[in-house]
Amino acid sequence: MTECLDLVDVAIDIFYIGYFSWGEGEVGGRGGSGDGRKWGWWVGREGVGSLMEFATHGDLYTLWLLENAFQESAVCIYTAEIAMVLEFLHNAGIIFRDLKMENILLDHNGHIKLTDFGLSKWLQKNQRTSTICGTLQYMAPEILLEEDYTHAIDWWSLGVIMYTLLVGRYPIDGAKNHYTMQRKVLQHRYQPPEHVSKEAGEVLALLLKKNPKERLQALREFEKLPFYRDFPFEQLLKKNIAPKNFLRRKLPPTLARKYYDSSSAKRRRKLGQRAHEGLSEFTFVRLKGHLVEFGLSVHNTLSRHAMIS
Catalytic residues: 98
Alpha helices in 92-238 (DSSP H): 141-144, 152-167, 178-187, 198-207, 219-224, 233-237
The rounded distance, in Å, linking the Cα atoms of 132 and 178 is: 9
The rounded distance, in Å, linking the Cα atoms of 246 and 223 is: 20
How many residues are there in the chain?
309
φ, ψ dihedrals at 230, nearest 5°? 65, 10
Q: Say if residues 146 and 178 touch (Cβ distance below 8 Å).
A: no
Annotate 3-44 with DSSP letters as a single string: GGGGGB------B--SS-EEEEEES-GGGS-SS--EEEEEEE
Q: Say if residues 101 and 272 touch (Cβ distance below 8 Å).
A: no
Nearest to 213 by CA among 87, 126, 114: 126
Q: Output the CA torsion sign for 308, 281, 183, 139.
A: negative
E strand or H helix at 76, and its extent?
helix 72-91
Hey, what's the torsion of the CAs at 130, 83, 200, 108, to 10 degrees?
130
The rounded distance, in Å, linking the Cα atoms of 279 and 166 is: 21
